[in-house]
Amino acid sequence: MKKYLIPVSAITIFLICLFVFHPQEKASQKNLIPNDYLWAQRAFPYQTIPSAAYYEAVSMASNQPAARGSGALNWTLAGPTNVGGRITDLAMHESDLQTIYAATASGGVWKSKDAGDSWEPISDALPSLSIGDIAIDPSNKDVIYCGTGETNGGGGSVTYDGLGVYKSSDAGLSWQSVGLEATGSIGRIEVDTKQPNRVFVAAMGQLFGNNPERGVYRSNDSGNSWEQVLFVNDSVGFIDLVIHPQNPDTLFTVSWERTRKPNARVYGGPGSAIWRSTDGGDTWEKLSGGLPTGSTVGRIGIAISASNPEILYATIARTNGSFAGVYKSNNNGDSWTLVSGNGDPGYASFGWWFGQIRVHPESPDHIFNLGIGWKESSDAGASWAEVSNYLHADYHAFYIHPANPSFQVVGNDGGIYISTDGGATWQARPIPTTQFYTSEIDFQNPTRFSGGAQDNGTWASLDGGIDNWNQIYGGDGFVTLINPLDNAIFYAESQYGGFSGSNGASAPSAPRYNWNTPYIFDPNNPDILYFGADRLFRSSDRGLSWVTISGNLSNGIIGSGGVVYGTITSIAASPIDSNIIFAGTDDGNVWVTGDAGGNWTKISDNLPKRWVTKVVADLWDPQTAYICLSGFRHNENMVHVYKTSDLGQTWVSVAGNLPDIPVNDLILDPLDPTQWFLATDAGVFSTTDAGANWMPVNNGLPIVPVLDLTFHAPTRTLVAATYGRSMYKATVPTLSALYEPAAFENIKIAPNPTLADWQVSFVLLEKQDIRLDLYNLSGQCVKTAYQGSMDKGKHAFSIDTEALSAGVYVLKMSAAGKTGFCKKLVKAN
């Protein structure tokens, strides 16, 4: 997780001209520790996440028959493939110089058969794609163990605990669960070099809770059964483990005392230590002999020298994350000496995010310390040098092949990099595991996508290709907007309101901003923007100046421990009446104004108290809106999608048969008021009956959290921002028929297509008030053809098209409260 923002030069994907963004760094929010945004969103207000409910939803999404017909979707990767996401582990077999396995934070296990030139995902059938560690049986390269649940203690975690250990006996073609489902997250797996049936697992436990299912586990039957051979208490997990290469009865493991809550975190304590067993794990001793002890000891990483196994190294962080030093033992762990103290800046100030050290297989004095950057020492830690030029921040994995030490693989928060010359030069080999928060489509050129990503800034495609995306903004990336009428004007942001525009726009000044700060265009005028902090701001000049149009809409609670609460999380302006604006907050409030911000009414008192992820204004009725909620049920009657038809006076569920799963976004189809799409933590769901029934639509899409959806209605392109598998796209099928309201009969439109006016005729079954509106494919009402009372019988009139551009339109006919989209109309060139 970036703690700083890097000004970057960017190629605008719209004019192919250079433009430089300078992310803002708020004075009150400098040096931010990793935040807990994803967890806080899903745990509010109970401070717990029932992972079992999540995996039930994943099972439903995986096993329920997919939607068919107009509701079906077929997803393909949209990219980028030239930038990756966080790598948590790397593994190769000592007999194989071609096959590499990579574990990712939230994108599963990937495999390369050609030394990193190409990659394929091999664990998409697993219920959890958050991977803590992978290990290969040294006696059989086809046997692989995979530990689910990331153990890194930063803020980019996928929030859900894993489901234990999985095993493959066919090099990743198939997997079976081998237990330890309640361990939460797996720090390390090691297979005995001489008795491959003996497997050891270091389990960290739950990331956001204390549980006794943690410690060191041992299996003597290749994972068929397990015994807990080392346990300290329910807040001390085990993060690392190494086996003596010549005497596998000797092994070392590392415990880490870690407690994490939304308003506090303790990343160390007297439970953090190094342990040794000399009898295959039957008994253990806690090592001291020069090692730091006490309440300030944080995360520890350990490594053993393959060329001289009596030598071990440990990299140790303090509880506050600062670097305590690298320690060395020359006598199998009996005593330790500090060989590098505070002088190694590569470790930075949040050591709980790294904790990895490696020893060169041919030299016990050649060591590597991983941090924001990574450094190497050729003199056992006495001096340090940069391994390479900057590749990407935050290093978590490093592998040197023992049969050919010139071949090296490193993994960080930007993906995988490979060296074939012993680290002299490096080439990126990224896999599409970017953790996207948001997505955007250039309305004028819908082949071009963009989005903000965890620890990777904002990326944009040049021409719809999957391998030529460019970074256009730094920091952690969030909302990206492109002016639909002029794509030379676009906006991007980094964490906590670091907002900039290509036209020089900047964020308004406010006391606090959400980690993912919302801002939107007025749907009727993209020169008007709304920006949500603790209050709502409006700009009439494309973000160059701002006016406050609300007071504090939150409950005023400001978080701690790296999380800022009390902020607006979603904004929606009615496309029919721009005076109507909705806003939702992270503490469960929903507000509406009917006079462009002059007066606000709180409309959420009868809704569940959950983090509001999305507010959506209806495309056809100004009184109608929808809200999406995060969180889970806690022995209560709540759902995750609600609808109001009276500006929030009353709410009804439109969640139908949806599982208990956080919902992150809702898309309404402008051609069909009954067809919607939902982004959830278990993929994408669709309904074709206005929320009465939902079906998963994940064909081709890995079952990972989808945090945002963007729909380009004219081309029927739907884009999904996944948190761990980059961005996907699908084409929404065109409806075979539109819906005719019961009040009308014998509806005819001619000529169609037309160069002039449309002649509309119909029979009205009884006298009543009717309304005829013309909509474009973006869901905007471009013309009201008639509004008023009509007598029973046949009617005919013209719709003037002079002011309309060429394209497809839909005639909406309303009578007696019944609405239908009855005809497609085509204005010819």
> Which position has the higher pLDDT, 531 or 816?
531
Please report, for the chain, the start and end positions of each structural domain, with discontinuous segments joined by +: 8-60+434-731, 88-428, 744-827
How large a percentage of the chain has pLDDT more than 90? 66
- Residue 222 pLDDT greater than 50, yes or no: yes
Confidence at residue 65, expressed as pLDDT on a 0 to 100 scale: 67
Q: CA-to-CA distance for 290 and 142, rounded, in angstroms?
A: 41
Lowest mean pLDDT among 441-445, 462-466, 490-494, 738-742: 738-742
Res. 737 pLDDT band, cuts 50 70 90: low
Give the residue-averaged pLDDT of 722-731: 96
Is 268 exposed, middle or buried, given 0-12, 13-18 or 19+ CB atoms closer than 10 A? Answer: buried
Find tokens 């990895």 and name the residue. 356
- Taking the model in full, what pTM does it have? 0.88
- Residue 461 pLDDT greater than 70, yes or no: yes
Confidence at residue 373, expressed as pLDDT on a 0 to 100 scale: 85
pLDDT in tens, 789-806: 999 999 998 988 888 888
- Residue 70 pLDDT greater than 60, yes or no: no
Domains 8-60+434-731 and 88-428 share a fold: yes
Q: Which helix (H) or strand (E) holds 650?
A: none
Q: CA-to-CA distance for 445 and 486, rounded, in angstroms?
A: 11
Is 444 exposed, middle or buried, given 0-12, 13-18 or 19+ CB atoms closer than 10 A? Answer: middle
Q: CA-to-CA distance for 71 and 194, rounded, in angstroms?
A: 54
- Residue 533 pLDDT greater than 90, yes or no: yes
- Residue 33 pLDDT greater than 50, yes or no: no
Residue type at position 312 = L
Q: CA-to-CA distance for 761 and 819, rounded, in angstroms?
A: 17
E strands of 345-497, at which residues?
356-359, 367-370, 374-377, 385-386, 395-400, 408-412, 415-419, 427-428, 440-441, 449-453, 457-461, 469-473, 481-482, 490-494
Find tokens 């099972």 and name the residue. 59
Reply yes or no on domain 8-60+434-731 having CATH 2.120.10.30.
Answer: no
- 8 Å CB contact between 697 and 761: no
- Residue 635 pLDDT greater than 50, yes or no: yes
Confidence at residue 344, expressed as pLDDT on a 0 to 100 scale: 55
- Residue 3 pLDDT greater than 80, yes or no: no
Q: Specify which of 32-41, 92-101, 151-160 reaches the highest per-range mean pLDDT.
A: 92-101
Confidence at residue 822, expressed as pLDDT on a 0 to 100 scale: 67
> Which position has the higher pLDDT, 297 or 561?
297
**61 — phi, psi (to 5°)?**
-65, -30
Q: What share of the chain is helix, strand, coil (3-state, %, to 5)?
A: 5, 40, 55
- Residue 728 pLDDT greater than 60, yes or no: yes
Neighbours of 48 (CB within 10 A): 12
Lowest mean pLDDT among 106-115, 184-193, 345-354, 614-623: 345-354
Q: Mean pLDDT across the chain, nearest whole number?
A: 89
Give the residue-averaged pLDDT of 289-294: 94
Could you report how far apart the first and last alpha carbons of the chain are, in Å? 50
Taking Cα atoms as reference points, which of 114, 120, 149, 124 lies closest to residue 134? 149
Give the residue-averaged pLDDT of 696-709: 95
> Which position has the higher pLDDT, 653 or 322?
653
Res. 23 pLDDT band, cuts 50 70 90: very low
Lowest mean pLDDT among 140-144, 460-464, 493-497, 824-828: 824-828
To 10 degrees, the CA torsion angle through 687, 689, 693, 695? -30
- Residue 271 pLDDT greater than 50, yes or no: yes
Confidence at residue 778, expressed as pLDDT on a 0 to 100 scale: 65
> Which position has the higher pLDDT, 827 or 540?
540
**556 — phi, psi (to 5°)?**
80, 15
Confidence at residue 7, expressed as pLDDT on a 0 to 100 scale: 27
Q: For the domain 88-428, what is the CATH superfamily, name and number?
A: YVTN repeat-like/Quinoprotein amine dehydrogenase (2.130.10.10)
Residue 616's Cβ-side half-sphere holds a number of Cα atoms within 13 Å equal to 27
Residue type at position 773 = D
pLDDT in tens, 751-774: 888 888 889 888 888 888 888 888
- 8 Å CB contact between 237 and 255: yes
Res. 131 pLDDT band, cuts 50 70 90: very high
Res. 827 pLDDT band, cuts 50 70 90: confident
Residue type at position 592 = V
Per-position b or e across 326-358, b if 16+ CB within 10 A of its CB? bbbbbebbeebeebbeeebebbbbbbbbbbbbb
Reply yes or no on domain 744-827 having CATH 2.60.40.3080.
Answer: yes
Confidence at residue 465, expressed as pLDDT on a 0 to 100 scale: 92
Confidence at residue 67, expressed as pLDDT on a 0 to 100 scale: 60
Q: Which helix (H) or strand (E) holds 803?
A: none
Confidence at residue 449, expressed as pLDDT on a 0 to 100 scale: 97
Give the residue-averaged pLDDT of 308-330: 94
Find tokens 């005729």 and name the residue. 761
Q: CA-to-CA distance for 25 and 475, rounded, in angstroms?
A: 10
How large a percentage of the chain has pLDDT more than 70? 90
Confidence at residue 563, expressed as pLDDT on a 0 to 100 scale: 61
